[in-house]
Amino acid sequence: MEKINKFFLTFFYTGYLPIAPGTWASLFTSIIIFYTFKHLPFALYIFIFSAFFIIGSIGADIITKKYEIEDPRWIVIDEVIGMMITLLPLYYNTVFNYKVFIAGFFLFRIFDVIKPFPVSWADRNIKNGWGIMLDDVLAGIYSAIILYLIRGYLV
């Protein structure tokens, strides 16, 4: 069971890449969504997102408690969730090209790294699996709002 949990939490072992595993997970998520997004019904996308969030939070919580570590860099399912939120506004408009996905990727990485309030607060104060996920959820919300506002300029 732990191997399955690690496989999921590392997003197909992306989290074990030696350099910037969170960035790689964000990039791979963007690519996967780019090629599957327009073929998924909105309800299915929300179901997948919800399942990833719940399973990721519980799985990360189990790992952090078992190994007594706060936020291992190899857990990257939180970046997957953040990118899924970032790209969510694309369901509500017709702008659907690679420029929007690239912008979404960079916006999310910027907000995930600089951690403006309340992202920084969540990162510092909420521990275990839920905390690992929440700061990326908030960074994804910031990114989604900006992406939604600038999407028309990316045509």
Name the token pair of 80: 């997957």
pLDDT mean for each 10 residues of the chain (155 residues): 84 94 96 84 92 94 88 94 92 74 95 95 90 95 94 79
pLDDT (0 to 100) of residue 19:
95
pLDDT at position 93 is 63
Tell me phi and psi for residue 66, to 5 degrees: -65, -45
**Tens digits of per-residue pLDDT, 56-88?**
999 999 989 988 888 889 999 999 999 999 998
pLDDT at residue number 60: 93
Q: Quick one: pLDDT at residue 89?
A: 82
Q: Give the pLDDT confidence score for residue 98 in this predicted structure.
A: 85
